């Protein structure tokens, strides 16, 4: 099981992302957030086929398309975090923290 806690910034809606491997290319996804758009997204991406993500062009996969349909903010990091968690859980990428830090 792979778990991420994502602080998306200004909106303040922390999101817990939990991904569990189902088979070589499939994973279940659970999102916990108080954000209404992310709650809608959680219903749309309960199971992910990694091959649909891997084979698609950037932004043309079920996660980002569902995020658009759920009216997620264009810079919301949650869709990306879902993909990163799925990759890590399925062994398709190294589990490594990601961060954005403003420098003034």
Task: Domain count for the chain, please give it.
Answer: 1
The verdict on residue 97 lying in a domain is: no
Residue 61 to residue 54: CA distance in whole angstroms: 8
Q: Indicate the pTM of the whole model.
A: 0.94
Contact criterion met (CB below 8 Å) for 82 and 31:
yes
The verdict on residue 62 lying in a domain is: yes
Structural domain harbouring 47: 2-90
2-31: per-residue pLDDT in tens?
999 999 998 999 999 999 999 999 999 999
Of 78, 84, 83, the residue nearest 41 (C-alpha): 78
28-67: per-residue pLDDT in tens?
999 999 999 999 999 999 999 999 999 988 889 999 999 9
The verdict on residue 104 lying in a domain is: no
């Amino acid at each position: 099981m792979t778990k991420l806690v994502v602080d998306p910034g200004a909106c303040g809606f922390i999101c817990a992302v939990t991904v569990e491997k189902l088979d070589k290319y499939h994973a279940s996804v659970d999102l916990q957030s108080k954000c209404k758009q992310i709650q809608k997204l959680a219903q749309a991406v309960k199971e992910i086929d990694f091959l649909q993500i891997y084979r698609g062009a950037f932004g043309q996969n079920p996660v980002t398309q569902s995020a658009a349909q759920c009216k997620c903010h264009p810079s919301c990091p949650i869709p990306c975090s879902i993909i990163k968690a799925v990759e890590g859980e399925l062994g398709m990428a190294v589990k490594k923290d990601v961060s954005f830090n403003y420098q003034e």
